[in-house]
Amino acid sequence: MKKSKKNKAKQCYSNIGGQAVLEGIMMRNMEKYAVAVRKQNGEIAVETGVYDGFLKNSPIKKLPFVRGVFGFAESLNLGMKALNISSEYYVEEEPKELSPKEKLKEKKRAEKRAQKQMHGSKSKGDELIAAITMIVSIALAVGLFMILPYLISEYFGKYIRNASLVALIEGAVRIVIFITYIATISLMKDIRRLYQYHGAEHKCINCIENGRPLTVDNVLASSRQHKRCGTSFLLYVVAVSVVIFFFIRVDNLALRLVLRIALIPVIAGISYEIIRLAGRSNFFLIQWLSAPGLLLQKLTTKEPDEDMVEVAIASVEAVYDWKAFLNENFPGSLEGYEEAVSDKAASDRAVSDTKDMDSQNAEDEKAEDTLDFDGTYRSLFVASCKKLRDVGIAEAENDARLLLEAACQTDRNTLLATPDRPVLNDELEVFLGYLGERMNRRPVQYILGTAPFMGLEFSVDERVLVPRFDTEVVVEEAMKHVHDGMLLLDMCTGSGCMLLSLLNFSNDTHGIGVDLSADALEVAQGNANRLGLNERSHFIQGDMWSAFDSLKENDSVADLKFDVFVSNPPYIATSVIDTLAPEVKDYEPMMALDGDQDGLKFYRLLLEGAPEYLKSGASVIFEIGYDQGEAVASLMERYGYREIRIVKDLAGLDRVAYCEYIA
């Protein structure tokens, strides 16, 4: 019995596309892209960025047929960028057990790579190599698929006087060379693995566009063929070139050769329109046109394994809110999804907790049993530095010194002035406890319970984020706009370090700190009491602006308006959380880190609700991620704020977004 059209499966265009890279996948959604790579230690590294392409926001890029030329060039450019990123993580050599010295060197190399990525730039040498590689690749492709078929057809033209038949021979040779090339490289082991990731990319997109939650099982069950695939595009390029060169003929040999190169942009533009239409339409004629490309994808995609699918999902989630897409286009498709994920997470946590407990016990024993020192302060410091370096802690010397000073109740001068000072048994016991915790990657600030910030000392624990030097840049910027008698607001206040620092270094100012976490506010209130600022600060619990709902009932604060508004909201994209250092992802409060899919959720909420509580001319100062300057500035402009600017930190990275509210 045939299915009616009403029951026919629905498929919706999702606007995401991707590319397989070395041991990973690049996914792109509009200007955002993410490269996810499976490293040799099994972890998934995800790097995100913004790619505006050529002639950003130019209307020329939207013209039919012309847009295809830009799309093709941008795909090549971004594809090379993604391959370079993946090669940073992918290492050809087999993983081996490293000595402590080698581990330290590898750590330093990783830090240099991370710093390079944070600055968002490559060396001129890297850029030159990438440009040469692209030029050579394009030249080889033109020579193989355009020039060679023409030369072969010219050879046959010596014996065949029918020009139409010669043109058909050229087209047939071009198609044969293209398919032969695809089939030949698919036999290579590394290319087959690349094709598996290509299959994972397609399966993820098909899973979403067919209304299924993005889980490993659902992705594996989806088709690995997709109508918007680059393989189909290249096949269209070959087919369109056959048609164009059949009708465009000139007698001059050199001119015929030049035309085959000069018309490549035209061919790409036409092919782009065809594949764009194929991706958005299920009309039977379009289905028929898509069939050869889908058939060819049987060569360029292979069935991926679960690990590859996990990489593909990580890449998608870094740039695309697939849950919102399903809710909008496939109502009810997420029913039962959250419960299933929650049950799996609970099971994984139970296994993880058991492993962590065993690991902690082993680490404590290791710290005590193998610590080689002669009983003196200096010797203990040297031995503990080695232990910390061996577990991959870059700031081993600084951390060991802080823990040693706390355990022995000494100061910074002790190590230099009296290095032979004997360490008492009670001091050693306390220090070994500290050292075991640090080797398990618990932050020093949580171990000691305090953290320095703006020259002040704040109490901290796992209920709040550790105050960081980067955040001092936010306070320093805000100080330029704080004057006597002002009322300050700190949304997502955490430990209260920003608000209390501003109050401490100003006169006759008052402020309110807001946080959803009652535990965090308890820490903030304790810090206000320690600094003697409890009479000038007030902390209220609530979810962003709704925290003020209860205050509105009090006539005395009904017209509450702030002069300066600061915030360090959660701004790390959900997909990036797992790539953070263990000190952050395993210990700091997740609700203070997770900024949702794109890391910008809370900036939207803050900017949208702020006007009701700000005086005209009020200053708004946010901490932002190193790669969020342009995005946050765009949000500020969209919500009508003025005098927008991005302030960099001492490393030259975007760190503060500033604007003014004008009523």
Question: pLDDT digit string (tens) for 603-658?
Answer: 999 999 999 999 999 999 999 998 999 999 999 999 999 999 999 988 888 999 99
| Average pLDDT estimate for 42-48 | 82
Distance between CA 175 and CA 239 in Å, rounded? 8
- Predicted local distance difference test score (pLDDT) of residue 233: 74
3-state SS, one letter per residue, for 174-204: HHHHHHHHHHHHCCCHHHHHHHHHHHHHHHH
| Average pLDDT estimate for 42-59 | 75
Predicted confidence band of residue 8 (pLDDT cuts 50, 70, 90)? very low
Q: Which two tokens stand for residue 523?
A: 């820490």
Q: Which residue has the higher pLDDT, 476 or 267?
A: 476
pLDDT of 95 over the 50 cut: no
pLDDT of 346 over the 70 cut: no
- Predicted local distance difference test score (pLDDT) of residue 356: 54
Strongest mean pLDDT among 74-78, 269-273, 629-633? 629-633
Strands 614-623 and 562-567 turn out to be parallel
Which region among 49-58, 293-302, 436-445, 588-597 has the lowest average model confidence (pLDDT)? 49-58
User: SS3 of 286, please?
Assistant: helix
Alpha helices in 534-600 (DSSP H): 582-585
Which region among 133-137, 252-256, 530-534, 639-643 has the lowest average model confidence (pLDDT)? 133-137
- Specify whether the CB–CB gap between 463 and 589 falls below 8 A: yes
Which region among 279-283, 329-333, 435-439 has the lowest average model confidence (pLDDT)? 279-283
- Specify whether the CB–CB gap between 501 and 456 falls below 8 A: yes
| Average pLDDT estimate for 527-556 | 84
Q: What amino acid occupies position 188?
A: M
- Predicted local distance difference test score (pLDDT) of residue 476: 94
- Predicted local distance difference test score (pLDDT) of residue 9: 47
Give the mean pLDDT of the chain: 80
Predicted confidence band of residue 271 (pLDDT cuts 50, 70, 90)? confident
Q: Which residue has the higher pLDDT, 402 or 31?
A: 402
Distance between CA 426 and CA 424 in Å, rounded? 6
Residue 38: count of CB within 10 angstroms of its CB: 22
| Average pLDDT estimate for 487-514 | 95
Q: Which residue has the higher pLDDT, 138 or 475?
A: 475
- Per-residue buried b or exposed e for 620-657, using 16+ beta carbons within 10 Å of the residue's own CB: bbbbbbbbbbebbbebbeebebeebebbebeeebbbbb
The helix or strand, by DSSP H or E, that contains position 642, with its residue range, turns out to be strand 642-648
Q: What amino acid occupies position 581?
A: A
User: SS3 of 271, please?
Assistant: helix
Predicted confidence band of residue 279 (pLDDT cuts 50, 70, 90)? low
- Predicted local distance difference test score (pLDDT) of residue 6: 37
- Predicted local distance difference test score (pLDDT) of residue 104: 47
Q: Which residue has the higher pLDDT, 452 or 245?
A: 452
Q: Residue 158 class from Cβ within 10 Å (0-12 exposed, 13-18 middle, 19+ buried)?
A: exposed
Residue 26: count of CB within 10 angstroms of its CB: 26
pLDDT of 461 over the 90 cut: yes
pLDDT of 387 over the 80 cut: yes
- Predicted local distance difference test score (pLDDT) of residue 587: 93
Q: Which residue has the higher pLDDT, 331 or 365?
A: 331
